[in-house]
Chain A
């Protein structure tokens, strides 16, 4: 091939593409990292570029075809330093969260004509966003401005933009894989075709013969040591059942070997040639069947060492508790409802897949792991334990993380890159494909929940029982945590003197389940909220009234079947306000409905603790820089949830400075002492508290230093924007920086904990002929305590609602009889598109929490939880049919109607 030439953003590249290379890898190979890989199949749009002005998916565009053409990536949208109008608009409306999809949206939006702008649901079909719920994107494209510029020190409670916003919209934010590491080797994984098998031999000769293949790593190279891929503050909370590479495979898609090559193609070719001999063993892929006597045992391990409740019965964890007397409560009831509810496997579908790089620092010899993680510190601890490394020899750092939703509270790739790096002493990279993400990472736990609930005629609950079976899949990881949490706030949200729980997390030979937004609560809340709604219908009471009568009230103890959790309390209470919002919305006129369609409305509520139990540590450090600005270092990670924006607001407000005077570093084990990380909705409540404490300490340090410097008593010193007023003379911060280094730290240990509330309400219309459902209205009321950034918090709610909506109506990871995942692409797994997601009206309760920073509560996972039951309850009201199995796809709705 000669004479190839392409102009990219005005620059010429004339090296010919490799045969078969798509335009995306060509562009990224030339440093245009704004072009993202989300699916590699033309489904997600994150790789969209202009070729001669026309938007195309660069993942499906043969690079050779770009010969002689002009290509524009997100980096080329701005001209002469002036942002393109859509970039300005995305900043003004903050039309992004994690930002991984944003470049694609910008490129698509920049090419829209009037017709396209007038029909965004159609025009944006080719771009997926998992974070925002699309309202913010719509506002960006239509030119709505939300961002405010408050006065110095007044940032809290205002709509500040994300610190990384300018980088996100220009394609210069650096995500995990957006680094150029010289000499980087590539890893491809060999995966099991069997649900359960013992490896009897691995022949790597043919793979090693492939030019460019450097090494093949198998169970013989991996540490014998068992660990859990789940990351929690207390290691012993998670089962110890996983090896980097095991000699027994327990699900189709389990990793068997890693092939390290000089190019991805070499590694891939090598991976195809690794010959593995298996002794196939019997498998079980149904959680109920797995608990029956004689079922194949998934983990034949010591219960104490492996922290598995009953390995021989495939029971990873179980909970049997009763509060009061359930049978007596049931006998007292005027009406009883019993139903069984099922929720499917679901995928996080963060647009950035899992992946990591590892390299040794040339001078110090220290190993750095750059990874897409929510938990850098815990991952470092796990890696050090696994490979016998001192923590000082390992740095774990996250770039900007392209979405997490719980999936990156898991060590799924870092162990492999460290194993390979330690073997070869060279830089290595492992990036999962979208299809591996579906079949070889983790999913939401599928639950079967039986609910039995009894009430008096007036709706007063007398008995509430849940029987839960959770399919944890082939490895336990988050199985116990999810199980225990699932039966916590879902049950404690209701006043009922008699409660019983029987719950099981069960091993099967399915793809492992893991942490997923809501952490089990959503599954049980779907069941409980559906059951209470049905009970109300049967009692002839308004379902909303039943909730108003039976939900917890301010001052109530929070009791599950296990009694009260000692450090959990209703620190503040906004549920009543949330329910009032729904009551008011419901009273408004219905509006036009297609002829012959059925209409109904329904609500559901949810409660969530503002932090995980058993300790969650936040750590922040603030440093005064020589120029008089401040550097804030936080240990926790940001994956689009906006916590970094709030951290900067908290620090700037406490210091009385503009937010632009506070720069942020984060997600790096070199920055601060231990930090548990970003999960359990802790970004504002725990990490924010740590930031606030560091800032408050800095205020004291600044005043003290200024008093000493000026000789004025500290009581006459006050912060004034860029310095300290010492009895009339202002000592600038930069002058204070010249003296003793000023550094303060803040720490939060995450206890005691409060609760936050969410209520969702839908009004739906249903076409009985096709099962098509249209959302006529969607209203969400949230008790987030004091809202520190209303624009961002609204975005969190909308994003959670959109994900909940996907879970309610569309998303299901299907598996075959052997447990193999059959929905391994976005073409089959329907993440909601712009056109799918209804616009939701978001309301916040006026509440101040005494425990959270400046009165704030968490609002990260929770908006997801009440969406599916609210949808099912509205369907029930419209059709008279109680739907018990998610998702509520059209055919299910239609079949439900025809059965009736």
Chain B
């Protein structure tokens, strides 16, 4: 680990000012991702500004029926929150499908959303990686890429975003409240994440020094929702494919729906084509398959991840079948 300075922030504004003024500074929240990266030499900040004392761990009702979640709310507390369990079960499901009890006890809401990819080359400080060292190359394109992206990737980076929570937040149309040196702005989570393009170093649209202070959820979507994660083993593995879905039915027709894939792209992948194909339609098997195929039409596979296309299609169809016809399926991957 390289030496660094450490400061404990007492208010968000000065924390933002400090980090914004120093290009080598970084925020430290729960630390479950960043401390690991410090040890691996993947992250080498010269200054850490600890934001865990900012008391940003409140979960409050909003006047419009929505919910405001403090950025520092621990993953374990959020998953167990009675309002979240009752009205946003997708969040609980997504959170509990990931990590372990010990990690959720330490990891925060914003930290979870901003966690970095688990691409093995990114995490290996001795390997080339355009995300870590721009211009050094992407060994995953011709290397081990079983876990890598099939949607929206670029020749420079084929990493996937690892967060289960992020996929669920996108499906819930959540908004991040962001504090920057010039004040506060609101960024829909759907627009928070970037595709890699020719600058994979940036995972999100946030500028250096911007700090997520809260996440706001709109009033509950209603209908039924499900987070389903397909992975190599029963627990403690990142998604090969995940689906965050919410569906509202009316008279046998899909009134509205939100579909998001995790594990397929550099960002949670809002399946807008599939949504459009199904909105207002009867969810027949043929329609579900066609919707999934429409979304995956642009999928580009690598040597090791071709299986993700049919796996994503089958998983989406299976989740939609469950949400639209009431026939509960066996629990997958709890």
- Give A108 Cβ to nearest chain B Cβ, in Å: 7
Chain B proximity of A199: nearest CB distance (Å): 17
Chain A positions within 8 Å of B101 at CB level? 55, 108, 116, 123, 125-126
By a CB distance below 8 angstroms, the chain B residues around A119 are: 334
**Interface residue? B220 (CB, 8 A):** no
Given contacts A19-B3, A57-B103, A816-B144, is CB(A898)–CB(B38) below 8 Å?
no
Q: Are A817 and B143 in contact (CB under 8 A)?
A: yes
Q: Please name all residues of chain B whose beta carbon is closer than 8 Å to the beta carbon of A265 when the two chains form the complex.
A: 1, 3
Residue from B96, B230, B233 within 8 A of A836 (CB atoms):
B233
A890→B307 CA distance, assembly (Å): 10
Expressed in whole angstroms, the minimum distance between the Cβ of A254 and any Cβ of chain B is 13
Minimum C-beta distance from A837 to chain B (A): 9
* Chain B residues positioned under 8 Å from A894 (CB to CB): 307, 310-311
B311–A770 touching, CB < 8 Å: yes
* Nearest A residue to B306, CB-CB: A895
> Are the C-beta atoms of B31 and A833 separated by less than 8 Å?
no
In the complex, whether A42 has a CB less than 8 A from a CB of chain B is yes
The answer, yes or no, to whether B124 is at the interface (CB within 8 Å) is yes
Set B8, B28, B106, B307: member contacting A56, Cβ < 8 A: B106
Known: A19-B4, A770-B315. A193 touches B233 (CB 8 A): no
For B12-28 the 0/1 string (1 means CB < 8 A from A) is 00000000000000001
**Do A833 and B235 touch across chains, with their CB atoms under 8 A apart?**
yes
**A18-55 CB contacts (< 8 Å) to partner B:** 19-20, 22, 40-43, 45, 48, 54-55
Query: Is the C-beta of A103 less than 8 angstroms from some C-beta in chain B?
Result: no
In the bound complex, CA of A626 to CA of B329 (Å): 69
What distance in Å separates the Cβ of B51 from its nearest Cβ neighbour in chain A?
Answer: 12
State the CA gap A55–B104 with chains docked (Å). 10
Which one of A48, A833, A898 contacts B102 once the chains associate, using CB atoms below 8 Å? A48
Nearest CB in chain B: distance from A192 CB, A: 10
Query: Bound state CA distance, A59 and B40, in angstroms?
Result: 13
| A-side interface size class | 35 or more
Asked if B120 is an interface residue, CB under 8 A from chain A, the answer is yes
Contact B32 A822 (CB under 8 A): no
Main secondary structure of the interface of A (DSSP, over half): loop
Complex contacts, B28 vs chain A, CB 8 Å = 62
Chain A contacts with B in 717-774, Cβ cutoff 8 A: 769-772
Q: Give bound CA distance, A746 to B71, whole Å.
A: 66
Please determine whether A41 and B106 come into contact, CB atoms closer than 8 angstroms. Answer: no
Chain B residues with Cβ below 8 Å from A769 are: 314, 318
**Residue B332 is within 8 A (CB to CB) of chain A in the complex:** yes
Q: Is the CB of B235 within 8 A of A891?
A: no
CB atoms of B118 and A108 under 8 A apart: no
Could you say which residues of chain A place their CB within 8 Å of the CB of B233? 809-810, 830, 832-833, 835-836
A895-B35 CB under 8 A given contacts A57-B102, A57-B106: no
> Are A835 and B234 within 8 A (Cβ)?
yes
Whether A814 is near chain B, meaning CB under 8 Å from some CB there, is yes
Q: How far is the CB of B44 from chain A (nearest CB, A)?
A: 11
Return A897 CB to nearest CB of chain B, in Å: 11
The answer to whether B124 and A824 touch across the interface, beta carbons within 8 angstroms, is: yes
User: Do A56 and B105 form a contact, CB below 8 Å, given A594-B330, A814-B144, A835-B235?
Assistant: yes
Is B197 at the interface (CB under 8 A from chain A)?
A: no
CA distance A891 to B36 in the complex (A): 29
Residue B139 is within 8 A (CB to CB) of chain A in the complex: yes
Question: Is B123 at the interface (CB under 8 A from chain A)?
Answer: yes
| Given A126-B103, A816-B144, A835-B235, residue A770 in contact with residue B330 (CB < 8 A) | no
Judge whether B124 and A822 touch: CB under 8 Å.
yes
Question: Which B residue's beta carbon lies closest to that of A45?
Answer: B102
Q: A42-B102, A822-B120 are in contact. Are A60 and B35 (CB under 8 A)?
A: yes
Tell me whether B120 and A828 are in contact (CB under 8 A).
yes
For chain B, residues 280 to 320, give those with C-beta under 8 angstroms from any C-beta of chain A: 307, 310-311, 314-315, 318
Query: Does A827 sit at the interface, judged by CB under 8 A?
Result: yes
Say yes or no: A122 contacts B96, CB within 8 Å.
Answer: yes
Task: Say whether A770 contacts B314, CB under 8 Å.
Answer: yes
A830 close to B102 (CB less than 8 A) = no
Q: Scan B202-225; emit 1 where CB is below 8 A from any A CB, else 0.
A: 000000000000000000000000
Q: Find chain A residues with CB under 8 A from B334 CB.
A: 119, 121-122, 835
* Residue A825 lies at the interface, judged by CB distance under 8 Å to chain B: yes
CA of A61 to CA of B102, assembled, Å = 10
Across the interface, which residues of B come within 8 angstroms of A116, CB to CB? 101
The count of A-to-B residue pairs whose CB atoms sit within 8 angstroms is 152
Residues on B with beta carbons closer than 8 Å to the beta carbon of A836: 233-235
A27 CB to nearest B CB, Å: 15
Question: Which residues from A are CB-within-8-Å of B329?
Answer: 594
For residue A673, CB closer than 8 A to chain B, the reply is no
Residues of B within 8 A of A48 (CB): 102
Closest residue of A by beta carbon distance from B237: A830
Give Cα A65–Cα B96 distance, bound, in whole angstroms. Answer: 25
- For the complex, give the distance between the alpha carbons of A125 and B233 in Å: 11
Are A822 and B236 within 8 A (Cβ)?
no
Which of A20, A65, A123, A127 is close to B52, meaning CB atoms less than 8 Å apart?
A65
Is the pair A56, B102 in contact by a Cβ cutoff of 8 Å? yes
Q: Contacts A122-B96, A832-B233: A64 and B143 contacting too (C-beta < 8 A)?
A: no
Complex Cα–Cα for A649 and B311 (A) = 54
Residue of chain A at shortest CB distance from B308: A891
Instruction: Annotate A864-900 by CB proximity to B: 1 below 8 A, 0 otherwise.
Output: 0000000000000000000000000111001100100
Do A816 and B139 contact each other (CB < 8 Å), given the known contacts A65-B52, A125-B101? yes
List the A side residues contacting B8 at CB < 8 Å. Answer: 64
Q: How far does the alpha carbon of A193 sit from the alpha carbon of B234 in the complex, in Å? A: 35
B interface footprint on A796-820 (CB within 8 Å = 1, 0 otherwise)? 0000000000000110001011001
A125 and B235 within 8 A (CB) = yes
Q: Which residue of A lies closest to B311 (CB)?
A: A770
Set A20, A45, A834: member contacting B1, Cβ < 8 A: A20
Chain A 396-426 against B: per-residue CB contact (8 Å), 1 yes, 0 no? 0000000000000000000000000000000
Determine which of B3, B36, B100, B144 lies in contact with A126 in the assembled complex, contact meaning CB atoms within 8 Å: B100
Specify the chain A residue showing the minimal Cβ separation from B317: A769
Output the least CB separation between B85 and chain A (Å).
12
Q: Enumerate chain B residues within 8 angstroms of A61, measured Cβ to Cβ.
A: 31, 35, 106
Which of B31, B124, B126 sits near A60, CB closer than 8 Å? B31
Judge if A352 is at the interface, Cβ distance under 8 Å.
no
Any B CB within 8 A of the CB of A268: yes
Contact B32 A121 (CB under 8 A): no
B232 within 8 A of A: yes
Interface residue? A823 (CB, 8 A): yes
B129 CB, nearest partner CB in chain A, Å: 12
Question: Given A108-B102, A890-B232, A898-B310, do A42 and B32 touch, yes or no (CB 8 Å)?
Answer: yes
CB contact under 8 A between A19 and B6, given known A55-B102, A268-B1, A822-B144: yes
A889-B230 Cα distance, complex, nearest whole Å: 12
In the assembled complex, which residues on chain A have CB atoms less than 8 Å from the CB atom of B261? none
Most A CB atoms within 10 A — which of B28, B96, B99, B236?
Answer: B236
Q: Which residues of B contact A832 (CB under 8 A)?
A: 233
Interface residues of A in 827-850 (CB under 8 A from B): 827-828, 830, 832-836
Q: How far is the CB of B35 from chain A (nearest CB, A)?
A: 5
Q: Which of A61, A770, A810 has the most CB of B within 10 A?
A: A770
- Please list 16 pairs of residues, one from A and one from B, whose beta carbons are closer than 8 Å in the complex, sorted by A's number: A57-B102, A61-B31, A62-B28, A125-B101, A126-B100, A193-B126, A594-B330, A816-B139, A827-B238, A830-B237, A834-B235, A835-B233, A835-B235, A836-B235, A891-B240, A895-B307
List the 7 closest pairs (A to B, CB-CB), nearest first.
A126-B100, A835-B234, A835-B235, A125-B100, A891-B307, A126-B102, A60-B35
Supplied contacts A822-B144, A832-B233, 16 more A-B pairs, CB within 8 Å? A20-B6, A41-B39, A54-B76, A61-B31, A65-B31, A119-B334, A126-B236, A265-B3, A769-B318, A772-B332, A810-B233, A822-B127, A827-B118, A836-B233, A891-B240, A898-B310
Mark A residues whose CB is within 8 Å of B: 19-20, 22, 40-43, 45, 48, 54-57, 59-62, 64-65, 108, 116, 119, 121-123, 125-127, 193, 265, 268, 435, 594, 769-772, 809-810, 814, 816-817, 820, 822-825, 827-828, 830, 832-836, 889-891, 894-895, 898
